[in-house]
Every structure is written in structure tokens, then in C-alpha cells.
Amino acid sequence: MTELVVARAQMAMLFAFHILFAVAGMGMPVLMVIAERAHLRTGHPVYAELARRWAKGTAVLFAVGAVSGTVLSFELGLLWPRFMEFAGGVIGLPFALEGFAFFTEAIFLGIYLYGWDRVSPRLHLASGVLVALGGILSGIFVVTANAWMNSPAGFTLSGGRPIDVSPLAAMGNPSSATETIHMTLAAFVASGFAVAGIHAFLLLKNRENLFHRKALEIALAVGCTAALLQPLSGDMSARFVARNQPVKLAALEGQFETMRGAPLRIGGIPDVATRTTRFAIEVPKGMSLLAYHDPDARVRGLADFPRDEWPDPIPVHLAFQAMVAGGTTLALVSLVAAWFAWKKREGLFGRRFLIAVALCGPVGLLCVEAGWGVTEMGRQPWAIRGVMRTAEAVTPVGGLLLPFAFFSLLYLGLGAASVWLLRREVAASPFFPAAGDAADPPAPEGKE
């Protein structure tokens, strides 16, 4: 393995780990705030208990998110010093703003967690709202930095250095809108379904526990709302990528030849040697229709681009397929959930629906990983598209295998420890009898 490959693998590992906790940091506070608000409104103790438990979970996840995020801010320089030398002055601003969002999050999470008896209920709820806002804003800020790598803007290149830098124009680069919307929704999809999955699983053991019923309702309200919007946002992203980064679109669709009326491929494995994507189910004119909303639109294939500017279509295509498959599944499950919520609330606690939700638990998180795989591997060979290649960005320091192995082991242990702790926490969940539920006011709707 070359040092470059090791550096890329390490970056991928660090991000793949951090993003799980970042997603929780954006989504969990929203769930806990909804539960607390329901408590203030109904006075039912089950909501207070939910808010407390979710807050505890958020705390563990937040701590791991904070330390893994700290690692990232240094690793950007440790692994890619030339990238940072170039980019720091251009996209540093969103990271600085993110720093303030973190502060908001950390300060008010401290108050939320340790302040149940120390501040008034309304101030406590307000702290929760600020935690949620801080989480969402930090996600948005950092994604604008990533969007800039896809669509560099806000500077002029002069002798290999950026001049006339406008940090605001860099943040407002063309990719920012679609990426931040899609990522924010993704965070709600993924955390909503992960939480719903856990509670659905526990409900399968005991259908009568009001604690898990209320938890499931809140988590589904958030997760399903976002999951129904996500395909729309994904469509926006895809259409944007088609115009803005055609080579990425070609890779993610496994399209080698430039053609009009290009088919949509479901499944299939791109084969670079023969320049075909095999074993795919082809929907005629599907891709032209989806990417340009015109069945005869011309789609540029990989062959249209110099060979040394191709991303590797195999992982990009497969990751894209996985994300879309997952997103479609979640959207369908959400439709069923919406129907139950509207027409037949007990249906939400039916055995078959609970099994479906439990199985969907990890799907949102997997979609997030797959989606980032698409974005990042689809940008290769560029670190900053059209400006700096990944190979130019990498550190001259050798022996990267050692820190890579070390951090991998460390994170494996951390991940296992977090899961173990949360499992214990979940296993100790309280029982509230469902009797008298009918007299309860309706469950809170999942407004964000």
C-alpha cells in the first residue's frame, strides 16, 4: 500500500466513525426536546423520563462525537497539510463558525444534563432547543466546507495560491445548498430510524410498555417526515451533480458512453476494462428523465473525460445504489407509518410493522455512510475539484500505517464501548403501563 492509499483509508475511517456521532448530535437533541415539550404540555411523567433517558444517550454520543471531531480537525492538517495550506484560508471560516455552534451545543448540553433541578422548566427546554440548533448548525457549516471541495469558489488561482479570497462566496459555493439540505435531512432520517428501531425491538418483547410506545411515536414522527422528503432532496442533489459534476454522475450511474435517452441502471457492476456496466436492470431513458427531467436528454459518459480524471466507478456506483435502495425502503415504510398515524394508530404497534421498523434501524446510518462514499470517492482524483489532486495534498511524513492501525483499534474499542454502554442503558429502560393511554392527549406531532 502506498502512503497515499493509507492516508485516504485513514481519512475515510475517521470520517465514517465521526459521522455516526455527528448524526446523533444533530438528531437526538430534537427527539429529546420534543419529548420534554410533550411533558410540559401533558404533565405525563413518561415524557419526562424519555427526555431524561434520551439526554443521557445524547451525552455519551456527544462526548465521542466531540473527541472524534477534534481528531478530524487535526488530521486534516496531519494527513493533508498541503490541502490545508491551500484551503485553510478559504474555507476556514465555516470551521470557525462551527466552533461557535459547538460552544452553544456543549454549554447548553451541560445545562440540560446537569441542570434538571437547577434551572426552571422553561429555561431547561430552551437549553434543549439551543443544543439542537447548535448541532444542526455545526453540521451545516462543515458541510459547506465539503461542498467547497466539490465546487471550489470564492478565490482566484494565482501561481498555485488562492488570492482575492472571499470566505462568504466560498461558503456559498454552488454545491452548498443541495448538500446541506440533504445532509440535514439525512441526520433526522438516520437518528429517527435508529431510535425507532431500538424501541420497536423492545416493543416486540412487551407491546404494553407506554415508555417505548411514546418513544416510537416521536422517533417515527421525526424519522418518517425526513425520510419522505429525502428522495426529493436526493433528486435535487442528483440533478445538480449532473450539471455541475458530470463525471461524478457518470460514475455513480455506471454510464460509460455519452448518449441521449440514457437508461437508469438498477444494480449492476461497472467494468472499467470493457467500459460497460453488467448485470444491471435497465429502465429505458430513466436516467435522462431523472437527471434532466427530459427522457431524451444527453448524458455524458465517463468516456467523455480524460482517463486520469475518472473516479473509480465501482465503489461509487455500488454506494449510490445502496443509498437509493435504502432511501426508497425508508420512504415506503414512512408512507405506511403516516397512514397508520392518520387512520389507525394501533397499527403502529402491530407485530409486522414493528419488525419492519426494527429492521430499518440501521438503514439510515448505512445510507449516510454510503452517501458520503458517493460524494467523496466520486470526487476523486481531486481533493479540490479541478484545483488540487489528492496525491498533491498528502503529507510527506511516512509510516502512516502506524497511526492508521492505532486509530482504527482505538475507534473500534470506542465504538464497542459506546454500544455496550447504550445497550445497558436501553436494557434498563423503565416500564409505564399502557393502561389509560386512551385518555391521554394525542402524541405530539414531530415538528422540528
- Separation between Cα atoms, residue 176 and residue 181, nearest integer Å: 8
Which ranges in 344-397 belong to alpha helices (H)? Answer: 351-360, 363-379, 390-393
Count of positions on this chain that bind ligand HDD (CB under 6 A):
29
Binder of ligand HDD out of 134, 364, 444, 446 (CB under 6 A) = 364
From CA 218, how far away is CA 50, in angstroms rounded?
A: 10
- Distance of closest approach, residue 332 Cβ to other proteins, in angstroms: 37
Instruction: Using DSSP bridges, classify how beta strands 269-271 and 298-299 pair: parallel, antiparallel or unpaired.
Output: unpaired
Give yes or no for residue 26 binding ligand HEM (CB under 6 A).
yes
Choose between 372 and 432: whose C-beta lies nearer to ligand HEM: 372
Shortest Cβ 391–other proteins spacing (Å):
14
* CA nearest to 45, candidates 431, 351, 379, 402: 431
Q: Does 188 bind ligand HEM (CB under 6 A)?
A: no
Q: How far is CA 184 from CA 94, 356, 448, in A?
A: 16, 24, 11
The distance in angstroms from the start CA to the end CA of the chain is 46
Whose Cβ is closer to ligand HDD: residue 97's or residue 374's? 374
Rule CB under 6 A: say whether 171 interacts with ligand HDD.
Answer: no
Q: φ, ψ for residue 157 (rounded to 5)?
A: -85, 130
Q: Of residues 65, 311, 327, 444, which one binds ligand HDD by CB under 6 A? A: 327
Rule CB under 6 A: choose which of 326, 361, 444, 446 binds ligand HDD.
326
Q: Which is nearer to ligand HDD, 212 or 317 (CB)?
A: 317
**How far is the C-alpha of 228 from the C-alpha of 231, rounded, in Å?**
7
- Positions 44 through 73 that interact with ligand HEM (CB under 6 A): 61-62, 65-66, 69-70, 72-73
Amino acid at 448: E
Q: Does 270 contact ligand HEM by CB under 6 A?
A: no
111 or 171: CB nearest ligand HDD = 171
User: Do 255 and 262 touch, CB atoms closer than 8 A?
Assistant: yes
In angstroms, the CA 245 to CA 152 distance is 12
In 3-state terms the chain splits into helix, strand, coil percentages (rounded to 5) of 75, 5, 20
Strands (E), 119-242: 156-158, 161-163
Q: Which is nearer to ligand HDD, 10 or 230 (CB)?
A: 230
Is there binding between residue 2 and other proteins (CB under 8 A)?
no
Please state, in angstroms and rounded to a whole number, the distance separating the CA atoms of residues 29 and 32. 5
Should residue 277 be labelled a site residue for ligand HEM when binding is judged by CB under 6 A? Answer: no
Separation of CA 184 from chain center: 7
> With binding defined as CB under 6 A, does residue 149 bind ligand HDD?
no
Q: Look up residue 383 and give its three cell numbers.
A: 481533493
Instruction: Candidates 7, 38, 171, 190: give the one binding ligand HDD (CB under 6 A).
Output: 190
Distance CA 133, CA 159 (A): 41
Q: Give the burial class of 409: count Cβ atoms within 10 A of its Cβ; 0-12 exposed, 13-18 middle, 19 or more buried.
A: exposed
CB within 8 A of 21, min separation 6: which ones?
61, 62, 64, 65, 68, 69
Residue 293: how many CB atoms within 10 A of its CB? 10
Phi and psi, residue 80, nearest 5°: -130, 60
121 touches other proteins by CB under 8 A: no
Look at residue 256 and give the partner it binds from other proteins, ligand HEM, ligand HDD, none, a contact being a CB closer than 5 to 8 Å depending on partner kind. Answer: none
**Which of 124, 182, 213, 317 forms a contact with ligand HDD (CB under 6 A)?**
182
Return the range that interacts with ligand HDD (CB under 6 A); candidates 110-118, 262-270, 299-307, 323-331.
Answer: 323-331
Residues 343-402 that bind ligand HEM (CB under 6 A): 372, 376-377, 379-380, 383, 390, 393
CA gap 371, 186 in Å, rounded: 9
Binding mask 202-241 for ligand HDD (x = CB under 6 A): ----------------------------xx--xx-xx--x
CB of 71 to ligand HEM, least distance (A): 8
Segment near other proteins (CB under 8 A), from 1-9, 35-43, 98-106, 180-188? 98-106
Q: Measured from the CB of residue 19, what is the shortest distance to ligand HDD in angstroms?
A: 7
Chain contacts with ligand HEM (rule: CB under 6 A): 8, 11-12, 15-16, 18-19, 21-22, 25-26, 61-62, 65-66, 69-70, 72-73, 76, 80, 83, 102, 105-106, 135, 138-139, 142-143, 145-146, 183, 372, 376-377, 379-380, 383, 390, 393
Binding site for other proteins (CB under 8 A): 56, 59-60, 62-64, 66-71, 73-78, 81-82, 84-90, 92-93, 95-100, 102-104, 106-111, 113-115, 118-119, 155, 162-168, 395-397, 403, 406-407, 410, 414, 417-418, 421, 425
